[in-house]
Structure 1
């Protein structure tokens, strides 16, 4: 079937290829029966050369190599020897390295190069003969290397190749970049055998020869055939005479002679020999019939042999060619079933040809693709002409996709009947991508052109920026483009021009130039790092997190940011956004970078133009200032030529000073005007001017026009103005200065007298001061001093001057003073240090104030502060005593809390049990009264304890997710019964804008809210109490507000000032009438402040009061814990049936209460008196004997913490619940640290206890 496919494709290729472009260029060469086209002959008059120099690849068996004697051998050598015999032209054939062969032809050292493949690059410098041989170019790989099936699979591998070989171009075109070159095939194979390259490309026959010779045929395998090359001979471009001579000479070699040479080097086919012997026998038999028949048979035998060999060779070559085509070739019958295909089609469909035959496409391809195949074939059958089509095909062998253009051609039999459809498909994916890329590049080049036009047109940055952004959006197909410049004051990158769909994307706040979330944008990174930054996918880029939502909403999918630089400084950023992910490829990004550089150069041009304009203006201003200064100067000025010193211009002061008018002075010099009295001094001045270019402040007598003499200071400078060599002369009248000098000298004497007097007075003041005064150098050397109090001197005064501090005082005092001197000089500010010195009666403390005096001296005042130091020490001791007293008070209150809670636990526990057990309503009411009184007492204890903790700073607030709605509802629910008892309406409303959760301390927030609500109900006899919860925004920000309003007795204005003082109420009558400790509001205010908020009040006596709890609003993402509301224990069912409880409690009353309460719930209870007994019971009864342990904390023998740790060593999974009478937050933490699962405070609420047990044993 493969031969049939070759014969079938042969007549169709010429028609099929042009229409679909599905057949590569090699087909046109292979399909030609002759294989060549005659080259144009050179001029007839040009005689053939006496010798022709031919070069070819050395070590290229079996075509060309050197034998053991070093002579050229191989098929090419024999062909040139035969060519030499046919043409009579001597051939100098030289096998050399391929790179050397190419060089010799290029340099004219050789006329012809043999065994060369055609390429477009080589065709620029060479003319080629028609191809004379086909050579496959496989990829060879070591047997351990798997998975190499095409060029795509070679990416990332190192591939070895012959230097200058055409396969290098093919590899690079296929995206293979890691290529190692060798000078010859022989060196390449030797390196591969020695462990070098694992993969290489090489002409098939040469590779087989060298691998066999190196005994490496089994080690390396042929992975796939990269392409089939066509072997040519070539000359330098334009050498048509030599080309014609070569082709004519090889045309004289007969097909038989060519076949004989090929059989010599490639071997003759054995099948052909068997056929030949049979044919000879048949001819011999026929020869008996007649000599004429014999002669005819011999002629026919030669013709048949030649023709058969030619057809067989063509068929084999064509089949090989079809199998190695990069195109898909398949043939289907009229029934839609496959009749033949090539190797590439096998790779696509995932099955060999023999499995395809007789099956339709639907047996191997998805239904939609098979239907497309069938539809294209059907159209070709219907129109009885080639039909083009385009598929997107997925290859079965590796899953990659290709866009394929195919041509479906109907095939007819010898009698014109339709026999099937031949299809040829070519991968045009790259062509499509190239076309798209070309369109994008053309668009981008148009953008560059338009931007360059804008650069040439605009004369300032702002209109240029606007034009560039507009061009990028209009002509570049971008979603949006903007240019930003830095605002150093705001620390932001501020947009100054933009175009496209922006929405509110560029509104403030802008990208920050500082570190942080707003400083991660690619635009800021580009500005900060001075290089292009790209966000190929905004949806996943961490740097775009702050802007992602807005960007995606506007259709931005990728962005590129380029720094705009002027003179090496980044002065702005050009950022553009596309609606596609990875919108730009590397080439386009390079063009955009060039675009940003062009804009930067334009900015540089603007800056240079602005600077040039500024320089011109400055020059004009300078000239104007010089002209004004020249005219208005109080010194006499004259501008003269340097060579003859004649004045060109003089100012008004010169005219006034010398008495000459402008017309008299201009054009004459000082000698001619006779202004110099001392001519010799003038000569010296002119000589100095000649030598040094200037003279300064020469005092000399000068003569006026009227003959008066005055003294002036003469200065002159050689200058160049407008290319002219000039002298600027200055005359300063010293008459007034000399008078002023005499006056100053008199004044100086008077000042010296005053200074001496003041110095003496200051010395007397310093001597009278108790402080000591020192003046010292930077190194601490004393240069002056006043001792003040003699008894404070550590060193004798006679030893002070000229000595350093470290020589006078011990360390660390001297070290402290040295540091103070250095700091005062460095900071130019006063530095104060304290130090101590040992004296016989004990340490004395001193304070040194150091003032800088210039850059190398200081003044230091030293004072004895021993008394002050003693007072500060006494004050610190008093503070520590106060802290200790506060701690003692706190400990006392905590212990008192424990001592009160312990009996209260028994009292309230028995009351709860009695209330649950009794059926008598009056008795139940009595127990309820006991419970209410006990809980009131518990509230007082809690208030006192909280206030104590607040005072000593031990109360801590937490920040956890809470529900502001649930907190308010729970507080109202807790106090609703009390409001009902007083017939007061209790209402709760919420702000609709109040969210469901926030961060806060649920316990303390509810404590304050219950306090405020309890007071409102307590002090309201009739009317209502309302609670409102919501958000309010004020100067302090957003606040969560709980507002409790009542219609109660109200508060007088003079009482509001003391409302939040501890242990105080409005007046004593209030306490007698309503009760209370006076701590509730004080604690509420302190708790609110600890939580960062405040409690505010406004009230009117007789009308009512409004209290507000205002707390910072902190949003929270978590879910707040649910709050449980109290319910009557008496209504609860027995929930602990069968639960085994071990109780460790040292108080007998509490033992009775716990045992009775747990039995009521159905529990099986075991009571022990201390922690050690609890550990022993678990050890004795076994770890599975108990479901839960209730552990008191403070017990004799062994406390609850230690007992818990030991029990958990015996039974790690046994839950232990702590119970304590302290009710301190620290105790809860210690319980959890010891391994307890929970903690309950005394007096115990049995409903809560049962809930806790059920939760932990579930």
Structure 2
């Protein structure tokens, strides 16, 4: 059945190729793809393109006869090339609903997991639901962007390529990112940070396709047919080359079964423990996230500007919504920046001075009034509280700033001061609003330092009542103050909120009875604007207390939990890494006690020596001695080790089979924390083959010198024989050329006579071809007669005027029948414009063109042969 399918594919490919030839199949197609997707395609250290797809497309070209012009570029550029029509095919692409609108896809040829990589310092992310609160990095144009957006992840940062994204992870500016599995592990390992990141979960399982433009079925069919023509064995060879092959099992595989059973049991216990721990982590993460959201709501709702800066760099690590609105930038454009990015030098200096004071002294600076001069905003004045931020050890890690904008208050104070200077001394002592009212709330008089704070124009106040001018709530408070003053003589501390031209303001009322003898009784009401004090004290006190409590609680819980998990994970991972590194090392590793008795050997030692672990553990290392290593070497080795130093040298040892082999060894003492030597560690490399190759190269070098002398003598004898044969050849050619001229002249004469008597067009055409061929052959024979001149280098070329287009047409006529017999299209591109005739030897030119075209037709199986002329004088030398 498999052979039948292979035959059908071959038949379809043959029919497709014949149909393509009839329709002038394109000589090449342009294929674009991602240039940074190892091991499928990537650039090596020299910038050369390597990978599975480079080889498989080359094999496709060989099978189809169509040149695949590969243009691997960055993924966003590859999408642009395909969308603009520069490329007919795009590879390394996932099939998504959005792309199906403008592309036709091949069947998938590779399954690729697309995981979410998370820095090991972040725990509790196990699904998209727990990912939504974080910012995720992706490559521009990657399909995982659609998946994340559809799942509700709103904070997505785009990077131009996987390498740039991994570079951001190396720099510490990116902690969570979506990256296809194969290139992800390749790039993280190459960057040396694979141990810093974990695969939190697999976002989805992607598949590689190849795609063409929507409706381009001809190209799609050619692509599919070409890959169908590649055999299973060829595909397996490329897969094995780039993806690797499974490692063969060891001879002691039965022991692995028992070990695996033990590991499985241990794994079940660890899995259950991990399940309980993971559930606890998820619950605590959920609680922390809820706490964080409540904290964020409080910080965003305090009505103040809140920011946190790092202690070392003074970069913003947190900003609330109000500060983002003040700066006119989203949080992403503020975080990681310093004050110098937004304010002038003097402002930065004054801010930094207070920040350093807080960090260095650990004190809270509660009333810092600073004028901020922005680079791109009008200046503002701030009333700020700055307090140090501490970690769980009490170390100061940053400074938290809570600020209120008091620009308007300062401006009002300035205006009040200007007005007060023009008032009389008595009124200067009364900066507040003063009103005279009767017990019914009727306004009788007023004194206002700033009439803008009045609830109504001055002319509209006198003769009107509280009920007519103030809101109901303010009227109730005012009448209550009058009643209390009537009963007690005075009333203080009542607050009312009133709308003014400058916005909503708070006023504190102090009311005294002016005269009890007058009816109705009169009262003096002093109205003090305490908006700044009320708002600043209430909002800042509440915000500071709540923010400090929540931040301290959240930091404490998070640090304790993360510290516990990280310590455990790091310890386990380090033990596993060290064990795997030693066991999988290609060099032999041996650990002995101080007497040289072997306590541990790795797999490489087993392969090199031929001894099993059971045979070597407990044996003294002398079991390997061959007797050929000089005694002085062993004396030096033990003297160096006993002195506490590492020894390096060459040993001649003996395998279990009795075979002698050479090793380059490095032996060093293993010390305890107190410095006491506990064991010796030996790392050894088998250099037997290297020594054999060196000796073999020396022998070949001496033998080559002898061969060169012998070959030189043989070449001298061959040269002399060739000269004799060449003289004989020249005599033979001269004789044969004279013999051929006589019948050739007869052919030319008879052809001329037939041309005079024949009248049919096809006969005349064939006779003309015979005459042209005979004339050309005669010209060649004439040159053969001058072979002696050719041999002596004295042959001369004609210098006559001739028409190049006529010569080309004549040559095409002579070879067209041969091209038609092979089904080849014979073409000639238009001649370049150069004007006039050419001067030279037309016979030699005709002979050269016939040779070129004859060879081209002979070695071309299908397609076309094109004769192209170029004017070399048009190009600079």
Normalised to the residue count of structure 2, the TM-score between the two structures is 0.28
Q: Which structure shows the bigger proportion of residues in helix conformation? A: 2
Normalised to the residue count of structure 1, the TM-score between the two structures is 0.20
Between Structure 1 and Structure 2, whose CA radius of gyration is higher?
1
Which structure has more RCO (C-alpha within 8 Å, separation ≥ 6)?
2
